[in-house]
Structure 1
Amino acid sequence: MTGTITGADGRTRFQTTVARVTGHQLFWPVVALVVLLLACGIVSPGFLDVTVRDGHLFGQPVDILRQSATPLLLAIGMCLVIATGGIDLSVGAVMAISLAVSLTYIAESGTGSNLSTALTGLFLGLVVALAIGVFNGFLVTVLGIQPFIATLILMIAGRGIAMLVTKGQITTVTSPPFKSIGSGFVLGIPTPVIIAGGVFVLVALLVRRTALGMLLESIGINREASRLAGVKSRNITWFVYILCGLLAGLAGIVYGAPTMAADSNNIGLMKELDAIMVVVLGGTKLDGGKFSLAGTIVGALILTTLERAVVIFHLPTQVTPLFKALVLIVVCVAGSERLRGKLKIRRTSRPVVAAEVAA
């Protein structure tokens, strides 16, 4: 009798552990990422191989990490904005403006090969991006304009601003120091990975080692209640829009540095939707409140791996948005709390019915 009870208790613990793991918000995104990587490895043997040449890491996984830097930088800022119940549709245009300002300065200086010139161009691009974040935050927090409308303004007008900066031309420069931002290596690791990883660590420490993360979630859950509780919701919301703009500018520079060309019509095009997709894949809900920064890493990796999978499977690039939508639907449905609740009710109701029949 004792063995039976122990066995039942063991099964209960196992079932509880399984339910806890599968119920975690990152479980299904991680499963989707693993499936994508394995599928690519099956279709293309050697896909997961990583080699070292001249002290630098090379391989498809390394390329995925490098290309994930841009969506990750965008998604970090977007995640915090969404946590407050807002949205920022201007991040793609901010990428174009920031890169246009940086490359235009370098081109007009005539000394692009100098490290100081490249750093000054980088600084100016980031300052402009920060100013745009201040403007977006002002519209949302001070003027009380809905975030969707407030950021839609620069989403539409931003590319026109970038075109004015570049005078309607594709600005190209020759600057090895600037190019290294997007294609260089630090201790064998691609520079974009170092930049994105460093930003992630700093932001994670800011929101998880201070009260900022809790305050962001309280604002997203109930802004008025948090204000009545003494939370300075206006200042905090303004701050996350500034941070989102700054990170979008950095993403634009990292994205455009390898080619050293500012194409205002195409840089950052539709990247705001990719950023939102990454945040959603990472388990953060668009209605605000609880957010997951770790989930943004998984979401960025899924997005980049999916884009690479289209190439590996020899599919037309035009179908990439379709596959993005399918993966998003599958992950969101699999992680649906309502669906899991209904399945749990059905599983628990069957033994009761069987017991009643036996009685």
Structure 2
Amino acid sequence: MPDLEKPLWTAEAIASAVGGKLEGADADVGGLTYNSREIRSGDLFLALKGARDGHEFAQAAFDAGAAVALVEHPVEGGAYVVVPDTLKGLEDLGAAARDRSAAKRGAVTGSVGKTSVTQAIKAGLDLAGKSHASIKSYNNHIGVPLTLSRMPADTERAVFEIGMNHPGEIGPLSQQVRPHAACVTTVGPVHIEAFADGEAGVAREKGAIFEGLVEGGVAVINGDNAYADIVKQAARDAGAVLKIFGTGEDADARLLSFDADPEGATVVAEIEGQRHAYRLAQSGVHWGLNSLCVILMLRALDVSLETAFEALADFAPLAGRGETRCVAHMGGHFTLIDESYNANPLSMKAGFISLGARPIAHGGKRV
């Protein structure tokens, strides 16, 4: 429920942020959405244009309790703010939310692992103070400004997922977030059809996440990836402070060992010049490097190493992304590893390697 003492927005504040005029009464606004079926009482309804014109659903949004609508022309049923372009209005609202907050902001991209790493960072931010983050995979031209616009003014730290499926998408989204730290989890053959030079083009696009970094911002990079040099150069071009995770001796966070077990895994790593052993609730072998990425991002956002370890120990796999469950059958039971959310060569390889590394009972087998 929205905090009625401190509303997320007011209708007048929204009008001011987007350069529009409020038609109707001012009201407190507790949330915002472009889906009229998700409206809660007191929300802002965004009449975006997509496969359907959102203006067609304004009346339904008001009937569901919307306090105000952001529109491109007058609508019936409630108060509204008119702007020339509702998507641009959403971007302006996101920028206003960013600028009114003193929150330290992180941004995450990569060919695989974006959502899980984002949510693992969020787990650490939750332990450190008042936090905010992307939900689901809200990582595109709508999801990023929507997540920004939903950020309360008193947020202390926030993390945003940024994705892409065509060239030139990540840089502008990073400019909207203006992160203090940004990471590239890895680069691989995902969306390569959009780039003439394949994975090298993907690497350059992923490196564009550093374009929006604030001055002195931190770039967290997978040093083990074949395209690390391209990503590092993008970070240098942006004037970033580089922090590398990987297995190489030059890594700021260096993976020394990863041992999976039925409850998760134990990682041994050298971080900030010190050797540490810590627990993961994840058993996928890719979480050795993922966890180091999370740790470097949390450190860049002023979260202690101890808090990072605590968050990782409790961060369970997300649904469809390595979640495990015990399934009973007539002969007994088996463990199902659910990696059904998505598939590409990198994620499939990681899944097979993780299955091969997972311990099994005597006489058992992996399928």
TM-score, structure 1 length as denominator?
Answer: 0.25
More helix by share: 1
Q: Which has the larger radius of gyration?
A: 1
Higher relative contact order (CA 8 A, sep 6+): 1
TM-score, normalising length from structure 2? 0.24
